[in-house]
Amino acid sequence: MIENRPILTVFTHIIMILGVALIALPIWITFVAASHDEIRMLQAPIPMLPGSHFVENFKQALFGAGLSGDQTPVWRMLLNSLAMALMISFGKISISLISAFAIVYFKFPFRMGFFWMIFITLMLPVEVRILPTFEVVANLGMLNSYWGLSIPLIASATATFMFRQVFLTIPDEMLESARIDGAGPMRFFWDILLPLSRTNIAALFVILFIFGWNQYLWPLLITTDTDMTTIVMSIKQMLESAEQSPQWNIIMMTALLAMLPPILVVVGMQKLFVQGLTETDK
């Protein structure tokens, strides 16, 4: 639709700017709050312009004790979150790649049955099966460990289904050609399927990394050791655990730091991500 009416242009721009402002304002306030000292943040009205304590707050949050009190330093929590998010993403991607490979390229009894079983687990997210899952993880002695944080979240019907669709778009001749070339199933998987689904893997990685990074309920349940806290749950705890009024400057700095890795992942992999979601040519 091509329209050339100035009023409409102005109007659409206003709407757009309002929308951007609506989303950007909280982030701006977070940033401003992270750059003032503790006292200033308790006075009303809250500041709207950045202050001069940004570097100081940054150091205190990242390396210091975080809040006054015996909190884990934020770098440790960032590391925990990163480990969890990476383990979840890699785990999910590898398991779904392999199961999709099995379902698409192998004929075995009850193949469709297995496919539907995997598909049905879509209806059972962690929140629904949280008690039994906790029981299993506890009995396996995986409480307070990276394994406990990530393994129960690894099985993924969505990713399996996605890779199945990707594999189905790869022409049969590719497989036949590889067979004539003498490539066995695993060789075909490594040499042909993986490179061909590269962009899809990247797209999925972005989504799964953010999914893993934002986990809240599950880490809250299975970690009791403060050394194992993830950054997302720690922000909430910071609000509660402070004996005095909350130290907004440090909390906001932590929030800023928590936002950073997903942003880096999205920005860094944006090109592949878009290709992976739109590319159809195989």
Rounded to whole angstroms, how far apart are CA atoms 123 and 137? 21
Choice from 176, 244, 263, 271 touching another protein (CB under 8 A): 176
At 280, the amino acid letter reads: T
Q: 94-123: which residues touch another protein (CB under 8 A)?
A: none
Specify the residue, 7 or 180, whose C-beta has the smaller distance to another protein. 180
- Packing angle of the helix pair 74-105, 146-154 (nearest 10 deg): 30
Part of the chain binding another protein (CB under 8 A), chosen from 151-159, 179-187, 212-220, 235-243: 179-187
- The torsion of the CA quartet 262, 248, 80, 91, rounded to 10 degrees, works out to -30
Q: How many CB atoms lie within 10 A of CB 50?
A: 14
CA–CA dist 172, 155 (Å, integer): 28
In the complex, what is the shortest distance from the CB of residue 68 to another protein, in angstroms, rounded to a whole number? 55
**Is residue 282 close enough to count as binding another protein by CB under 8 A?**
yes
Q: Using the rule CB under 8 A, is 240 a contact of another protein?
A: no
Does residue 196 interact with another protein by CB under 8 A? Answer: yes
Cα separation values, 131 from 52, 151, 251, 263, Å: 47, 15, 31, 33
Stretch of residues binding another protein (CB under 8 A), selected from 92-100, 177-185, 210-218, 256-264:
177-185
Report if residue 271 touches another protein, rule: CB under 8 A: no
Is the omega angle on the peptide bond into residue 47 within 30 degrees of 0, that is, cis? no
The residue from 117, 120, 181, 216 that contacts another protein (CB under 8 A) is: 181
Q: Which is nearer to another protein, 112 or 180 (CB)?
A: 180
Token duo for residue 231: 């950054």
Q: Closest separation between CB of residue 209 and another protein, Å? A: 24
Number of residues located near another protein, criterion CB under 8 A? 18
Task: Write down the least CB distance from residue 90 to another protein, Å.
Answer: 21
280 binding another protein? (CB under 8 A): no
Are residues 251 and 38 in contact, defined by beta-carbon separation less than 8 angstroms? Answer: no
- Measure the CA–CA gap between 10 and 164, rounded to whole angstroms: 46
* Tokens of residue 134, six digits: 């906790």
Residues that bind another protein in the complex, under the rule CB under 8 A: 171, 173-174, 176-177, 179-183, 187, 191-192, 195-196, 198, 281-282
